[in-house]
Amino acid sequence: MQQQQFNDDFIINSPVGKLGICVHDEQLTRLDYLPDSRRLKPVSTGFGQRVCSELATWFEDPGYRFTLPVAMPGTAFQQRVWQQLTRIEPGAVMTYGELAALLHSGARAVGNACRRNPVSIIVPCHRVIGAAGIGGYSGNTTGPGLERKRWLLQHEGAVIPALKSA
C-alpha cells in the first residue's frame, strides 16, 4: 500500500494501525495503512459495515476467508498474481520465485504486482516472502510496513524456518 493521499470512505482502528477504506458500488476498492495521526471516519453504509465486520472477524480468526467483492483495476498480469494470492492458505507462505514459476514470470514482476495490490489483507500479499528473508511489503524492506507484514504472518501462524529478517 502506497502512502498516497486518498479520500477514504471510512477510517477504522485495527491491530495493525488505522486503515483507510474506499468502496464503490458495493465493492471494496482500496485498503490503505494510515498514520496514527489520521482521525477515524465512521462507516456510513451497509456495505461499509460488512467490510468492517469481515475485517474484525479475520483479526479474531486468521483462518477466516474473506467474501467481500473487490474491484481491483490492474494489468492482466497483476490480475493473475492477485488471483494466485487468494489461493495461498492462511498461515502458508510462498516465495516470490515460487509464485513467479507458477505464473511463468519473474520474481521481480511478481513483487511489483504485490506492491500494487490495492486491497492487502483481503488479497493477502503478505503471504509472499523472499527466498533469503521475509522480503518487502508495500515496496518497503524496513520500517512500519515490514513490521506489519511480520505481524500479519505471525497472526496467521506462518512458520518461516531458516529465513533471516530483512
Query: Could you list the active site residues?
Result: 125
- Report the alpha-carbon distance of residue 28 to residue 71 in Å, rounded: 6
* Contact by Cβ (8 Å): 40, 12: yes
- Report the alpha-carbon distance of residue 130 to residue 111 in Å, rounded: 9
Tell me the CA distances in angstroms from 42 to 45, 139, 151, one per residue in order.
Answer: 9, 29, 25
* Contact by Cβ (8 Å): 21, 12: yes
Distance spanning both ends of the chain, measured CA to CA? 18
Q: Give the position of cell 505471525.
A: 154
Smallest CA-to-CA distance from 110 within 133, 129, 88 is with 129
Amino acid at 11: I
